[in-house]
Structure 1
Amino acid sequence: MRSLLASMLLAAAACSGGTATAPTSGGSNSDLDLGGLGKSHAMPPPTPDAAVASGSGSAAPVAPVASTAGVSFREEAQLLYRIAACGGADAERIPESRGDAIARDKLAKVAERHCQNVLKRMAEFRAAYFEKHKSWFDDNIPKDIPKTVVYPFGGGDLLSALVAFPDATEITTISLELAGDPRRIKTLKPDQLGNSLAALRVEIGGLLSVGSNTSVNLSAQQRNDIPGQVASHLMGLVTAGYEPTDMKYFRLDDSGGIQYLEQGDVEDADKKRMKALKGDWASPTFSEAFSHVEIRYKKQGETTERVFRHFGWNLDDTNLTARPQLLKHLAAKGKVTMLTKGASYLLHRPTFSKIRQYMLDHLTWMLSDSTGIPPLYAQPANMVQETYGTYSGAFLEGSRGTRADRTFVDLWRSNSRKKLGFRFGYVDASGSGHLVVTRPK
């Protein structure tokens, strides 16, 4: 395996791999003026107490059974884990290149500069959410909720799901952003890698500070030679003390069942151009084969595999009517734990009624900011909503003062005040952190 990975990186010294031009937003030639690898910057594995926030119990998780079908992109996942997400020891960041020390040194310098920045941000995030504010999750998330987590509108944000539910055995995120093509990491030259990593550091936005990002950044990820969604999710694994074990891509059949893509499926899809899932979203530079990804992962030092899936799917009513496979897939999971944050208040709108109704029908326990399900819809569904922090109105001005937003303002006013000393998702119109728990009566 090590020699195979080394040969992949050796190709970077000789060719560009025929990939699209790397984006340059947020980067410059200074990103390539890099230091050496003499100093270790790898994040230490988290202590058990820091890695496990309450809310999923202490019993060893039972992982879903892995499938042998489909082509594995494990090697690409490992490269992205090391280079883009900065996992593992920095001495192993770039595999040895079969005697080509020059090529390896150039790539290593680019990766080192990137990881100096990223690992610092990860350490700050860990100190805040896995240590300082860990007690809130310990005290407020029940021990017996389902270990299957569904996170609508959760593009790039596996990290927040791991903060709240670190012992989940299955996590699903869904967003407009497509997973991305991992193959280019094998062939990027040092300058291409530097530009792509510089752009990625911009495109992850506030992921490693407050667990949030902007639509502009998420859209731009689809033009990067590094798959932004995959890289962001791998950063979540690194920050929380997990590591990938396998990666595959898939599609859904008409019943909502998973069909893993074989090599022939990938090659056929490469011949077709992929369009964005929303008109004002950047068109991806990769094929539809790389829309949905499954990443198997485990805690460092353990052997039990868990499964994470990201779906690139438009969740508005028009699209879910035309493409109902996702709702069928989600419904088959039964009762689940849910998370929603930073979701642009889409669940407040009448045009997102199908995903909202799925959530109301299947949630056992849900954590959200004010972009979750408003009391306007939760109360008629016989839900209880408990509030934390303060809330004076929507963070986004265009969603402030709507009927749905006013029901949230009224909810906070009527509930007894419970303190919240941190931000987890959007702040409100006054800049205050807030959270709401939604559950059946």
Structure 2
Amino acid sequence: MEFNRRATATAQILAGITPNPLDPALKRLVESDTFKEHQQWMIPSWAHVRGRIQTMETWRSHEIKIPGAQKKTLLYPFSGPDFLNAYTLFPDHGRYVFFSLERPGTMPDLESVTPVQFTKLLQDVRSAFRDIFERNYFITSYMTKQLTTPWIRGTVPVMSIMMALMNRRIVRIEPLDLFPQLTQDYDAPDAKRPPVLMRAVLIEFANPGASGTQQLYYVALDATDKALEFYPDFLNWASQYKPATVLLKSASYLLHDNQFSKTRAMLLDAADVVVQDDTGIPYRYLSQNPWQVKLYGRYNKPIRPMKYAYQKDLEAAYSSQQEQVPLPFPFGYHWRGQKSGLIVAHR
């Protein structure tokens, strides 16, 4: 498999990994004190996260069985750049479709950065990764700032760094225009356009120890019903490879809001497996035929700004279990003190 050496090396350096072989043009960066300081933060931080990932991998191997995963698509709405959890739980899917508000952006050009710029770039990388490493989720309000600095632009650099940390190689990064006519129409004076212009990117990546590649489509858009009136074919595009697996995590309870009814309906129609915390699809949609549900961990009422999303029926379902089924890793907003819960639903 032929990798994109420049993109892969860029991701590795930002991840605190020295590329092998090392491009001479990048040698000055990996030999700098700035890079060594970055490694001193990334290496122990990633070692801590690897412990969590190994726990998740062991749990996944026993609890989530998805036949023919190599031919399936994982849909991850409101994902941000969270490749880490998606790939840990579903490493074998052939295709991943992420969508959220954050722009995809581009990879930085390391060959042209000055020492001062390189220092600021690595500082921004550490800032962007601090929450996902500690809490296992991104904080949306922080992420908006973290992904729009002069040095880290968008989700692509963050997802690429995660791929490097997980020993994956980048084959290509390709900007996509899923609906070219609508992109043209967006700037028309009378266009009833949403606040966010859709932007998309394809990252094809590979395991160096295996044959074949996997594809990650990341789409930046507003997924409210109103905004989707401008992009009426997006949900059909996202669900074209059904039955799909759906992952929902730290999703701000958006699918509890009828402003997202079209996205919610698409997910329920397209999915045959849903893995989520309580912030995803409301439990009442999954607690009836044709769904079979298993609950892990415990139910905790939503955190303070989101108390409106309390689910009495989900709390009752947890309480009625004869024996609590443990969840051995943090997942979602209740990440401290083994308070997380997780729902696995099969159709």
Q: Tell me, yes or no, whether TM beats 0.5.
A: yes
Letter in structure 2 aligned against 1:385: V
SS at match of 1:248: strand
Aligned structure 1 segments of 4 or more residues deviating by more than 3 angstroms? 73-76, 89-93, 105-109, 183-186, 379-382, 428-431
Alpha-carbon separation, structure 2, partners of 1:379 and 1:334: 21
The separation in 1 between residues aligned to 2:261 and 2:68, in whole angstroms, is 25
User: Are 1:427 and 2:319 matched, yes or no?
Assistant: no
Matches within 5 A, 1:95-134: 95-97=23-25, 104=28, 108-130=32-54, 132-134=55-57
Q: Distance in 2 between matches of 1:296 and 1:97?
A: 24
**Deviations 1:344-382 (CA, angstroms, capped at 9, x unpaired):** 111111111111111100111111111111123334674
| 2:218 aligned partner, one-letter code | H
The alpha carbon displacement at 1:229 in A equals 1.1
Per-residue deviation, 1:326: 2.1
Partner of 2:213: 305
1:81 aligns with 2:11: yes
Taking only the aligned residue pairs, the percentage that are identical comes to 22
- Residue 262 of structure 2 aligns to a residue whose secondary structure is helix
The amino acid that maps onto 1:321 is E
Aligned partner of 1:250 in structure 2 is 176
Q: Structure 1 300/390 Cα, relative in aligned 2: closer, same or farther at 3 Å?
A: same
Q: Could you say which residue in structure 2 is the equivalent of 1:355?
A: 263
Contact 2:248–2:279 (CA under 8 A) maintained in structure 1: yes
Q: For the residues of structure 2 that align with 1:392 and 1:85, how far apart are their CA atoms?
A: 34
- Specify whether residues 191 and 240 from structure 1 end up closer, same or farther in structure 2 by C-alpha distance, changes over 3 A only: same
Match of 2:240 in 1: 332
Correspondence for 2:191? none
Give me the whole-angstrom Cα distance separating, in 1, the residues matched to 2:247 and 2:25. Answer: 43
Distance in 1 separating the partners of 2:125 and 2:29: 21
1:410 aligns with 2:316: yes
Matched residues, number: 334
Give the alignment's TM-score, normalised by structure 1. 0.68
Which one-letter code corresponds to 1:409 in the other structure?
E
Indicate whether 1:241 and 2:148 are aligned.
no
* Deviation per residue, 1:271-306 (Å, 9 max, x gap): xxxxxx869xxxxxxxx79x3221111113223111
1:136 equivalenced with 2:59 (yes/no): yes
Q: After superposition, what is the alpha-carbon deviation per residue over 1:161-209, rounded to whole angstroms, capped at 9, x for unaligned?
A: 1110111111111111111122544422111121122022112332234
**Structure 2: where are the runs of 5+ without partners?**
185-193
How far residue 97 of structure 1 moved from its aligned partner, in angstroms, is 3.3
Matched-pair contact (CA < 8 Å) for 1:145–1:365: no
**Structure whose CA Rg is larger:** 1
Q: Note the alpha carbon deviations across 1:363-409, whole angstroms, 9 max, x for none.
A: 11111111111123334674332210111311x2132254x633322
Aligned CA RMSD, in angstroms, stands at 3.1
User: Is the contact made by 1:387 and 1:412 (CA closer than 8 Å) also made in structure 2?
Assistant: yes
1:208 partnered with 2:133: yes
Q: Equivalent residues in 2 for 1:276-291 (5 A)?
A: 291=199
